[in-house]
Amino acid sequence: MWKRLMQEDAQGMTEYILIIALIAVACVVALKLFGGSINKLITVSTRRIQDQVSD
């Protein structure tokens, strides 16, 4: 019985690792796809804030 319980725990842990790996891959892909757009958006926003502060 103990052995079966340990196998179920290992299976659950493996599933969590696979889910986390899938999320990490999705994040990397999203950053590759939208990284340039996000960078431009942050740059433009920063410039506008600096212009408002300096006025």
Q: Which amino acid is at 6?
A: M
Domain count, the chain: 1
Assigned token pair, 49: 């804030």
User: Range of 29's domain?
Assistant: 1-55
The pLDDT, as a whole number, for residue 43 is 95
The pLDDT, as a whole number, for residue 33 is 95
The pLDDT, as a whole number, for residue 45 is 95
Label residue 2 by pLDDT band (50, 70, 90).
Answer: low
The pLDDT, as a whole number, for residue 24 is 97
Query: Tens of pLDDT along 15-55?
Result: 999 999 999 999 999 999 999 999 999 999 999 999 998 86
What pTM was computed for the model?
0.58
